[in-house]
Structure formats: structure tokens, C-alpha cells
Amino acid sequence: MSERISGSGGRNVFAELGAEVIKIENKTTKGDVTRSWRLPNEPTPEEASAYFYSVNYGKKHLFFDFQDKKIMKRHAKY
């Protein structure tokens, strides 16, 4: 679990090689901060920025509430 460039870039290599990559984001913080990194003329829809999609293509996305102990315990085994 990471965000910004280092995490996304490293995961891209695995996704490009055919691995199933799952990006887990924190639901309480509205996910990876790069979702809001927009160019000055880029529209601001409810969706994420073009940058976010460009570095996270080929990945599945899940949002977890990291404050929910049941969810964290259930997924800790992975």
C-alpha cells in the first residue's frame, strides 16, 4: 500500500508483465492524492485526474476503511 509516483510506477511494471495488481486506497482520505493532481485546464469531474489514470492503468482498485478493524483483520492475511 503506497501512493504517489513510487508506488504507482513500481506496480506498473508488474501490471505490464501480466500480474493481477490491486491498488488498495484509504476510503476515509478519499484515496490516493494523485487522484486530484490536475493540469490547470483539466476538467474537475468526480472521477480521478488523467495523471492518476495514466499511472494506474491495468490495475484493480479497492477502497478500504482503514479504521474498520473487521475489514483490516479480514484482509490482513493477504
Contact 9, 45 (CB under 8 A): no
Say which residue, 30 or 9, is predicted with more confidence.
30
Cβ pair 55, 13 in contact under 8 A: no
40-to-11, 15, 43, 46 alpha-carbon distances in Å? 27, 29, 8, 16
Question: Tell me, what's the pLDDT at 14?
Answer: 87
pTM beyond 0.75 = no
> What pLDDT is recorded for position 70?
84
Query: Is pLDDT at 4 greater than 80 in this prediction?
Result: no
What are 23-67's pLDDT values in tens digits? 888 888 888 888 888 888 887 777 788 888 888 888 888 888 888
C-beta separation of 66 from 26 below 8 A: yes
Q: What is the pLDDT, as a whole number, of residue 20?
A: 92
